[in-house]
Structure 1
Amino acid sequence: MAETVRPIHPLTTDEAWAFTASRASATTFFFDFDGVLSPVTDDPDASQPVPEVLGVLERLADSVARVAIVSARPVSFLRSRFADLDHVDLHGLYGLEVWHDGQVVTEPAALDFVPAMTELADQARTELPAEILVEYKRLSVALHYRTAPDQGRTVERWAHEQAERLGLRIQHGRMVVELKPPVDQDKGMVITEGVRNAGCAWYFGDDMSDIKAFDALRAREAVDPAFFGMAVAVANPETGAEVSSAADLTLESPDAVAAFLTEGLRRF
């Protein structure tokens, strides 16, 4: 049987799904968590995937080569939300942690920074305004100012001072600044490695860090004429315009993502 020709961007969703179905056994689907599978909440610990997500991810994992979640959340958090999904890989903390085949693998170079992150979280709770939510993730510390947007500059300034003092890196997100180890690892690198042997891949994201994942799909297409990548943005009022402009397709919400996947699976 003749090989299906890769569609050319921009393309319709029908074309994208048709090609994906023809390459299902060589296709990987990647998803961010917050804002993509779950609505963004003021309290990060309260975030839950929308009700339809678990079922649709399970069906998707049965239909394609691989399904993975690539998130700033720790693997422990992702496991608490997706423990029943045996065939979904979890990349936590931008890939510093990976859950695959029942095991967690942590980037060794990041482990040296656990004591510094513990102290940094305590320091943030003491020095930053009380409205700032300090999320300790073992290998990183996220400073959320969603409930106090007027404190954004204060948080940014404090974070950059600490990053310079401790030799850490800064990751900006939706109403959040995250301090993480100076280890070369981000969502783009996760996708670059994840599509190395894939014939087709989709990535669903909603934040600035997801643009690197979109870029990784484009880079793979540039060097492999047989590879097809589909970048999907999930719109939001904070970073939506910039993320959407880098994507092939924009969906309006996590509920829309679940509905989109449900409809697409009918093509398989």
Structure 2
Amino acid sequence: MRNQNVVVPDASKGIGITIAMALSKSLLSPFVPKLLPAAPDGCFTISRKMFSKKTETEGKTHSWVDSMRDSSPTRAKPTTSLSETEEKNTWIVNHPSALNMFEQIVNGSKGKQIVMFLDYDGTLSPIVEDPDRAFMTNEMREAVRDVGRYFPTAIVTGRCRDKVYSFVRLAGLYYAGSHGMDIKGPSKNSCRNKKDYQDVLFQPASEFLRMIDEVYNVLLERTKCIPGAKVEDNKFCISVHFRCVEEKMWATLVERVRLVLNGYPKLRLTQGRKVLEIRPTIKWDKGKALEFLLESLGYANSTDVLPVYIGDDRTDEDAFKVLRSRGQGLGILVSKVPKETNASYSLQEPTEASTLILLAKGFLFSFRC
């Protein structure tokens, strides 16, 4: 009888799987077999099943690393061989600058209720190495404050709601943290000057709080030896930042994260801009948050509303898709390079987003008066 735990040559087909490998204990691979006797040629043998399982795991890790390189949203892939300049020009034709098209946007907004949706990192603040220092400029804060006086305005972010509120520090806005899983907004009878101006609107992932906290603590321990890795607790989700991690360590990082999540099937791993995101497996994202907020404001079925969503990240694509499916609203991607996106317009950087918000406030307020 053939030993099922060891792969031996198949005489009839002349096929054998013999793998030479240096075995050592590692936290990175749960599939490393126990030490096996060496064959006469000095090679070790492992089972076909074990080989397939290990290869599949490594393949998934490599796939994640490739995606991490691309960051998010993924870089646009030209259908023909184009120079970088030609590629960008082609992309701009399909996703023109919102600043260059501002007059057209204004004309299309006449008679409609504007509702502003703004991502935070990379949109209201520049992307920085330390996520705890992603501060918005005073000019940007003034722009958001002014536009929020005239139009319902929401900050929709993967950040913890309390954290992003400490950055923005503006009452009277809606804050949708944890990718929209923690939404609060102005109550009808609140005073803008009161610290407790907000009433809880929606927290669809409350049952996952204990689990999220547990995974956060485990990840802190498992990633602390990877230089540059930072684990951020965003209450209803967890962010593992790899912006400051050397690329050669990305595979190690993603494999450690995946190993932790193997024990938590109710959590899923996604990716944002230089960050791995761990979220509950509920059907909720920034697009769902946008729909919920429109409904809360009474505009779910209105034909006289114009939602404007500005974001820079792969997670913002869920909101862009909702706007496209509604056939209503403007999706604006903040990106210096061509990206695959469902947004209709583009901006180069957060400073352009600030300019657009100021222009919107000035032109649209003048029109309404």
User: What TM-score does the superposition give when structure 1 sets the normalisation length?
Assistant: 0.84
Query: Which letter maps to 2:155?
Result: I
Does the residue aligned with 1:233 lie in a helix, a strand or coil? strand
Cα distance, 1:75–1:247 mapped onto 2, change above 3 Å = same
> Which residue of 42, 45, 63 maps to 2:132?
45
Per-residue deviation at 1:32? Answer: 0.5
Query: Which letter maps to 1:56?
Result: A
Q: In the aligned structure 2, how far is the partner of 1:45 from the partner of 1:166? A: 27
Does the residue aligned with 1:166 lie in a helix, a strand or coil? coil
> Which residue of 181, 186, 191 maps to 1:96?
181
CA contact (8 A) 1:94 1:186 kept: yes
Per-residue deviation at 1:177? Answer: 0.4
Is residue 253 from structure 1 mapped to residue 340 from structure 2 by the alignment?
no
Aligned CA-pair RMSD: 2.1
Deviation string 1:200-243 (CA, Å, 9 cap, x unpaired) is 1111010111111111001111xxxxxx311111115xxx5325
Per-residue deviation at 1:169? Answer: 1.3
Per-residue deviation at 1:99? Answer: 1.5
Q: Which has the higher strand share?
A: 1
For 1:205, the equivalent position in structure 2 comes to 311
Query: Which letter maps to 1:154?
Result: T
For 1:153, the equivalent position in structure 2 comes to 251
Query: Which letter maps to 2:243?
Result: R
Per-residue deviation at 1:166? Answer: 0.3
Per-residue deviation at 1:111? Answer: 2.5
CA contact (8 A) 1:18 1:267 kept: no
Q: In the aligned structure 2, how far is the partner of 1:209 from the partner of 1:159? A: 19
Query: Which letter maps to 2:173?
Result: V
For 1:81, the equivalent position in structure 2 comes to 167
Q: In the aligned structure 2, how far is the partner of 1:213 from the partner of 1:44? A: 23
Does the residue aligned with 1:22 lie in a helix, a strand or coil? coil
> Which residue of 226, 229, 235 maps to 2:329?
229
Q: In the aligned structure 1, how far is the partner of 2:228 from the partner of 2:179? A: 26
CA contact (8 A) 1:152 1:175 kept: no
Does the residue aligned with 2:284 lie in a helix, a strand or coil? coil
Query: Which letter maps to 2:104?
Result: E
Deviation string 1:141-194 (CA, Å, 9 cap, x unpaired) is 211110114122222223333333201112211111011222221011112333
Query: Which letter maps to 1:161?
Result: L
Does the residue aligned with 1:78 lie in a helix, a strand or coil? helix
For 2:284, the equivalent position in structure 1 comes to 185
Deviation string 1:44-100 (CA, Å, 9 cap, x unpaired) is 111111221221112212222x111100011101221233x2221000001110121
Per-residue deviation at 1:35? Answer: 0.1
Q: Which runs of 5+ in 1 are unaligned?
A: 1-8, 222-227
Moved more, 35-44 or 195-204: 195-204
For 1:241, the equivalent position in structure 2 comes to 338
Rg bigger for which structure?
2
Per-residue deviation at 1:266? Answer: 2.6
Q: In the aligned structure 1, how far is the partner of 2:279 from the partner of 2:236? A: 7
CA contact (8 A) 1:131 1:148 kept: yes
For 2:108, the equivalent position in structure 1 comes to 19
Aligned positions, number? 245
Does the residue aligned with 2:127 lie in a helix, a strand or coil? coil
For 1:63, the equivalent position in structure 2 comes to 150
> Which residue of 210, 221, 233 maps to 1:126?
221
For 2:4, the equivalent position in structure 1 comes to none
Q: Which runs of 5+ in 2 are unaligned?
A: 1-93, 187-197, 295-299, 365-369
Deviation string 1:99-118 (CA, Å, 9 cap, x unpaired) is 2121234525x223222222
Deviation string 1:233-264 (CA, Å, 9 cap, x unpaired) is 1115xxx5325x43222111111111122123
Cα distance, 1:179–1:118 mapped onto 2, change above 3 Å = same
Query: Which letter maps to 1:188?
Result: G
Does the residue aligned with 2:120 lie in a helix, a strand or coil? coil
CA contact (8 A) 2:125 2:350 kept: yes
For 1:171, the equivalent position in structure 2 comes to 270
Q: In the aligned structure 1, how far is the partner of 2:246 from the partner of 2:314? A: 18
User: What TM-score does the superposition give when structure 2 sets the normalisation length?
Assistant: 0.62
Cα distance, 1:116–1:10 mapped onto 2, change above 3 Å = closer
Q: In the aligned structure 2, how far is the partner of 1:105 from the partner of 1:22? A: 28
